[in-house]
Amino acid sequence: MADDATPLLSRRDGAVLTLTLNRPQALNSFDGALHEALLGALKAAAGDAGVRCVVITGAGRGFCAGQDLSDPAIAPDLTPGAAPKNIGKLIEERYKPLALAIHHFPVPVIAAVNGVAAGAGANLALNCDIVLAAKSASFIQAFSKIGLIPDCGGSWLLPRLVGRANAMALALLGEKCSAEEAQRIGLIWRCVADDALATETLALAARLAALPSKALAETRRAFDNADRMGLDGALSLEADVQRRLGMSHDYLEGVSAFFAKRAPVFKDR
């Protein structure tokens, strides 16, 4: 694929923006340039009303191997007595904004996991709204093997996705979880044949792009808020949101289209 000097490739198919991590020689692990490029592209896309779905995928045989452990800015100096580096700063300045940018993204974000997703690379995918993986892909919480904890949101995401028992085993053991197993335990939505990943991803993205984006955004917000409230609070929030959405063009259009047996034309208002 493409130009090795460009850490991130960007492609538009109608309303779908595909961002491809492009450091295949290092399994698309994150160095400073890739971090900057991905966060920059997400910020630009968030302000572009023409983008209605974003796909994140990887070039070559991997999705993303997490932090580039050889990046001189971050990698520990292995010389005896050398001062330790502050990787908390990296997490605060790079991974936290990245995870939050995806989490609060105005339209759905799909991870199309084409190969191994390790460390922060696995959690990059799990931050996305829908994770579709190739059958040969895998997910590894590689952190414990280098003396760290799951970051890029992993400590928050894992127990919510797969329950504490599965999350603990994934995080403590740091073993490879196949895409099929990941689907079985609910870590990801679905895995598909390797040669179907690209087409299935674009078809899914096109479906999401055609839906009323306000309702999709409110669905995601309701799920997030539900974490902070009991059933009573969630029911009240549902009433508030439905009150607003029920006055929208898209609700009237959806119902009209249903009775007219035609495809709806949503306008995001």
Residue pair 28/60 in contact by the 8 Å Cβ criterion: yes
Q: Name which of 39 and 148 has its Cβ closer to ligand T3D.
A: 148
Q: Name which of 173 and 265 has its Cβ closer to ligand T3D.
A: 173
The half-sphere exposure of 174 on its side-chain side, counting CA atoms within 13 A, is 12
Which residue type sits at 153?
G
Give the shortest CB-176-to-ligand T3D separation in angstroms: 7
Residue pair 118/177 in contact by the 8 Å Cβ criterion: no
The half-sphere exposure of 15 on its side-chain side, counting CA atoms within 13 A, is 19
- The position carrying tokens 């709806």 is 264
List contacts with ligand T3D (CB under 6 A): 26-27, 29, 65-70, 74, 87, 90, 116, 118-120, 140, 142-143, 146, 148, 151
Give the tokens for residue 114: 């084409």
Q: Name which of 26 and 257 has its Cβ closer to ligand T3D.
A: 26
Q: Name which of 173 and 229 has its Cβ closer to ligand T3D.
A: 173
Q: Is the dihedral of CA 174, 175, 177, 181 positive or negative?
A: negative
CA distance 245 to 70: 49
Give the shortest CB-167-to-ligand T3D separation in angstroms: 17
Q: Name which of 68 and 250 has its Cβ closer to ligand T3D.
A: 68
Give the shortest CB-50-to-ligand T3D separation in angstroms: 32
CA distance 54 to 51: 7
Give the shortest CB-82-to-ligand T3D separation in angstroms: 15
Give the shortest CB-187-to-ligand T3D separation in angstroms: 17
